[in-house]
Amino acid sequence: MPHGEDLLREHGLRVTKPRLAVLDILTEGGHLDVEEIAQRARVRLDSVSTQAIYDVLGALSRAGLARRLEPAGSSARYEARVGDNHHHIVCRGCGEIADVDCAVGERPCLTPSTSHGFQLDEAEVTFWGLCPACQKRHDDEA
């Protein structure tokens, strides 16, 4: 896998410390909101503004190095897993997000009843439910 500096250059982005830090944070995994990313970046960089983190995330998303997801009722989350058309499952209890591989296996995974003339290349699916920890809490309360 290419190093962060190489990835940025390959995607036409200047190499900066904030971009390297955010890219590194995202490649550690998870579905992180801006505040979580900013907190982790400040540990690495000492000082970086939240606006700078938004700017970096925008650049990484536009370049195809990060993916932004927006579960209903939640702040935007970012991840480094891009280009494979995977989906997500979100816990209604605690908001935990997990990746789910494509429902069918090839893009766009689902076919709508009509495309309205669009050339389809992706389907974004969000599954909702309760994670194991919230199921246990729910069962314990019942």
> Other CB atoms closer than 10 Å to residue 80's CB: what's the count?
19
How would DSSP label each residue in 62-107? HTTS-EEE--TTS--EEES--SS--EEEEETTT--EEEE--SSSST
Distance CA 18, CA 45 (A): 7
Convert the pLDDT of each residue in 43-70 to its tens digit.
999 899 999 999 999 999 999 999 999 9
The pLDDT > 70 percentage for the chain reads 93
Convert the pLDDT of each residue in 73-116 to its tens digit.
889 999 999 988 788 999 999 999 999 887 665 655 677 778 88
